[in-house]
Amino acid sequence: MPFIVLGIDGLDYNLVKRWSIKGLQQKYHGTHSVSMIKPLYTPIIWCAFLIGDNPVKYGYSIHYIDRKRALYGYNPILKYVYKFLRTFTKRKLGVRDFFVKLGLFSYNRIKNHVDKIEAMPPELKKKSIIAELKKRNYKVWIKAFPAYNDAIFAKGRLMTIGLSNKIFRERLKLYEKYTRELISDLLSNINKYDVFFYYTALIDLAEHAFCKFGLREKAYLYSYYKKMEKIALEVSSKYPTLIVSDHGFDFKNKIHSDYGFWSTNFVPPLVPKTIMDFKKLILDAVEKYL
């Protein structure tokens, strides 16, 4: 019997409880802290989830990602100049807009390589739960997962910065398409792998799109939570399933909260207190239930 991990970006504990969405709440549930990651950024938080440690300690941070973006964005010759200058200062150089006008800096190059830019360093992949499971001879399915191999939502995350609500909502349709395609891929491979790591950013994008949280926005957001519940039940109704989010949403301040949500349909071997506890939880659960 396979073991399923559903990573649902932005899934908020308070909304799941308030709206009594049982398919997401499952039998055992709670919150976990992500407050040790500052600033909160999706790939960094999910890296902590995968390695069971704070990746900032190893140099994988928002600053690491920003520098890689710059290196990919600059003209091949200029990127070496940029890299040389950055050895002397951590301050932003303030010349990017000027080079964009000259055609010497391209945001398209960043978009085309965003999966490589946001991927955790190879030495951290070796510390990940994926590497540990493979060492124990489990077959692992993992697709479009932040910090590991996400070429889908990483590009979408980069391209949603500064968008209007109208375009946000148009992009929701695309995210919903990705979300359904990935769960279909998971189900089509259900007999070929032992452990599955699934991820979607659909809920997070919906929260940003409907963050005014009036009656109309609440109704729209509720509909997306129900869509996510239906997708989750396709696996949790049959297999041991852990649902995890990297943060919730603070609608008053319109920012991510410093806690995430978790739930299981099995007795968890431990109660996770922080995002870094899930590596051990999953390893122990896999050994018990597979």
| pLDDT, tens digit (0-9, with 9 covering 90-100), for 228-271 | 999 999 999 999 999 999 999 999 998 999 999 999 999 999 99
Q: Which of 103-107, 178-182, 212-216, 258-262 has the lowest mean pLDDT?
A: 103-107
pLDDT of res. 155: 80
On whether both 132 and 212 belong to a single domain, the answer is: yes
Same domain as 126, residue 115: no
Q: Are residues 156 and 99 in the same domain?
A: no
**Angle between helical axes of 165-188 and 215-236 (0-180°, round to 10):** 10
CATH number of the CATH domain containing 9: 3.40.720.10
- Give residue 111's pLDDT band: very low, low, confident or very high (50, 70, 90): confident
111 and 131 co-located in one domain: no
Residues 23, 82 within the same domain: no
- Over residues 140-155, mean pLDDT: 93
Same domain, 173 and 212: yes
* For residue 39, cis peptide bond before it (omega within 30 degrees of 0): yes
Last-in-domain residue among 69, 100, 119: 119
Over pLDDT 90: what percentage of the chain? 67
Residues 162 and 246 grouped into a single domain: yes
Query: What pLDDT is attached to residue 96?
Result: 59
Q: Is the pLDDT of residue 134 over 60?
A: yes
Rounded mean pLDDT, 191-209: 95
pLDDT at 120: 96
Domain that holds residue 103: 61-119
Task: Give percent of the chain with pLDDT exceeding 70.
Answer: 84
φ, ψ at 271 (rounded to 5°): -95, 110
Lowest mean pLDDT among 109-118, 144-153, 216-225, 265-274: 109-118
The residue-averaged pLDDT of 193-210 equals 95
Assess whether 44 and 68 both reside in one domain. Answer: no
Question: Structural domain tally of the chain?
Answer: 2
Distance CA 265, CA 171 (A): 31
Query: Is the domain of 153 the same as that of 209?
Result: yes
Instruction: Kindly report which listed range (32-41, 103-112, 128-137) carries the lowest average pLDDT score.
Output: 103-112
pLDDT value, residue 212: 83
84 and 29 housed in the same domain = no
d(CA 114, CA 158): 8
Least confident of 31-40, 85-94, 113-122: 85-94
d(CA 286, CA 194): 9
From 96, 119, 142, give the residue that closes a domain.
Answer: 119
Q: Are residues 166 and 268 in the same domain?
A: yes
224, 272: one domain: yes
The last residue of a domain, from among 74, 93, 119: 119
The pLDDT of residue 220: 93
